[in-house]
Amino acid sequence: MKLMTISLAAGLLLSLGATAVHADTLLIERVQAEQNQALPKRGASMASVEARFGTPQQKMSAVGGGSRHTPPITRWVYANFSVYFENNHVVDSVLTRANAEEVGPAPARQ
């Protein structure tokens, strides 16, 4: 009985480990895809992003900006990625989700 319990516990741990490895692989693949994608670089101005990547599909309204510690953050949406600006400069660029099952950050409330 003790051997059966150990076997079941080992099987459960192995199956949980396989799930974690699978999730890590997806994250690694996602990071590699972002590294190979031409995305706006941190610090670039809005004007230079628009000149290089064209007009975005959507320019979201700025949020924040109430004080020096909460500068306005704006998001521009392109077909394959989004660009986040603090004031007039890029703070981050991220790829759009590949499919509905991909886990990522929660969408911003508008």
Report pTM: 0.62
Regarding whether 16 and 56 lie in a shared domain, the answer is: no
Regarding whether 92 and 49 lie in a shared domain, the answer is: yes
Structure tokens at 8: 């079941």
Regarding whether 92 and 44 lie in a shared domain, the answer is: yes
Stated as kind and residue range, the H or E segment containing 73 is strand 73-77
Residue 92 located in a structural domain:
yes
Strand order across the 81-86 sheet: 58-59, 73-77, 81-86, 89-95
Regarding whether 91 and 53 lie in a shared domain, the answer is: yes
The length of the chain is: 110
CA distance 29 to 53: 24
Distant-in-sequence contacts of 29-35, Cβ < 8 A, 24+ apart: 30/95, 30/98, 30/102, 33/95, 34/94, 34/95
Q: How many domains does the chain have?
A: 2
Residue 108 located in a structural domain:
no
Regarding whether 69 and 53 lie in a shared domain, the answer is: yes
Regarding whether 58 and 76 lie in a shared domain, the answer is: yes
Residue 29 located in a structural domain:
yes
For 90, the domain range is 39-97
Q: Please report, in tens digits, the pLDDT of each residue of the chain (110 residues total).
A: 554 545 555 554 555 555 454 555 565 666 666 666 789 999 999 999 999 999 999 999 999 888 888 899 999 999 889 999 999 999 999 888 766 666 655 555 54
